[in-house]
Structure 1
Amino acid sequence: MSSGNDQQSEALSKPTFSEEQASALVESVFGLKVSKVRPLPSYDDQNFHVYVSKTKDGPTEYVLKISNTKASKNPDLIEVQNHIIMFLKAAGFPTASVCRTKGDNTASLVSVDSGSEIKSYLVRLLTYLPGRPIAELPISPQLLYEIGKLAAKLDKTLQEGKPPITPFLAKN
């Protein structure tokens, strides 16, 4: 007899890419020469902090996001996330920029042979935003006020600005 957790783990397979595989992905999908990669914490996806060789005018730090197998089966959801990121960036929010693949897309589906089966993962690259995670900051009334103020501005912007509708939003 299987538990609900067994069924969830079958449906949602967290990626297990090595640093070398992540580096190769960035180079092959996004065309950037990687100098260093380190894993970042994540819940059910996999993230890497990617450093690239200096370019003439581009950033040198990125976040490679590799979606789990369940999310990878719904590329429209990732497209919605990317459009919202771009919308908020254009509205002046301090957010990462979505990077284009060599094929001029915002994400790419890659297939990996895990030995027993071939799994597909949606990968995308965002510019890295330096800073400290909020969990590392001392909680103060001022910090909570600033978080609330930003959340209210975000809510208002999303309500009034009407971010782009994609097929996913139109269906759901």
Structure 2
Amino acid sequence: MPGAYFLLDIMSSGDDQQSQAFTKPTFTEAQASALVESIFGFKVSKIQPLPSYDDQNFHVHISRSQETTDDPVEYVLKISNTKSSQTPDLIEMQNHIIMFLRAAGFPTASVCRTKGDNTISLMSIDSGSEIKSYLVRMLTYLPGRPIAEVATSHQQLYEIGRLAARLDKALEL
């Protein structure tokens, strides 16, 4: 069935996936909004594409309900390319590093859980000629401006260096 998609909530398992050619995701805003609602259970009020090299990212605003008044309202939906989607263990490891650094007090996004209580979900699309699989995850949105867009001072660069040193120490095993 062309255009149909199938969802599979996963924790990790990439060993049995076959190799496939690299394909960058090309989801529309409406499709991405439907993914957020079906995988994470959030009602989307606004969604905008974000720049990305290999993957596809969206800035997502959700409608806040009365029972979730403390939850964030802005997120980043990340849809991995087909090659990265073959290695869910690597994406899962990235999520665990983000959670570790956040618990250690670093200013990082939070990893969102799916309705199935996982950190990633495998979504497959039937394009008519083949089925392509994409890993989908969502992080809280961190507002701000990229450092490349800001006039930097020596003090700011020093603080970035201190943060990098703290990060290096935290990740030592």
Structure 2 residue ranges without an equivalent (≥5): 1-19
Q: How many residues align?
A: 151
The answer as to 2:35 corresponding to 1:25 is: yes
Could you tell me which residue of structure 2 aligns to residue 103 of structure 1? 116
Tell me the residue number matched to 2:56: 46
2:44 — aligned with what?
A: 34
Distance (whole Å) between structure 2 residues aligned to residue 38 and residue 115 of structure 1: 27
| CA-CA distance at 1:115 after TM superposition | 3.2
Say yes or no: does 1:14 pair with 2:24.
Answer: yes
Q: Tell me the distance in 1 between the aligned counterparts of 2:153 and 2:132.
A: 45
Query: Shift in Å at residue 143 of structure 1?
Result: 2.3
**Aligned counterpart, 2:95:** 82
| Structure 1 gaps, min length 5 | 1-9, 163-172
Q: Distance in 2 between matches of 1:104 and 1:84?
A: 18
**Aligned-pair identity (%):** 77
User: Could you tell me the TM-score, scaled by structure 1's length?
Assistant: 0.84
Deviation at 1:140, TM superposition (A): 2.8
Moved more, 19-28 or 53-62: 53-62
Query: Matches of residues 53-64 of structure 1 in structure 2 within 5 Å?
Result: 53-55=63-65, 56-64=69-77
**In 1: Cα distance, 2:64 partner to 2:116 partner:** 22
Aligned equivalents of 1:24 and 1:14: distance in 2? 19
- Tell me which stretches of 4 or more aligned residues in structure 1 moved more than 6 Å: none
Report the TM-score when normalising by structure 2: 0.84
CA RMSD across the alignment: 1.1
Q: What amino acid does structure 1 have at the position aligned with 2:121?
A: S
Residue by residue over 1:79-102, the C-alpha shift from the partner in whole angstroms, topping out at 9 and shown as x without a partner, is 100000000000000000000000
Tell me the CA shift for residue 125 of structure 1: 0.6
C-alpha displacement of 1:139 = 3.2
Structure with higher helix content: 1
**Relative contact order (alpha carbons < 8 A, sep ≥ 6): 1 or 2 greater?**
2
Counterpart residue number, 1:149: 162
Report the counterpart of residue 6 of structure 1 in structure 2.
none
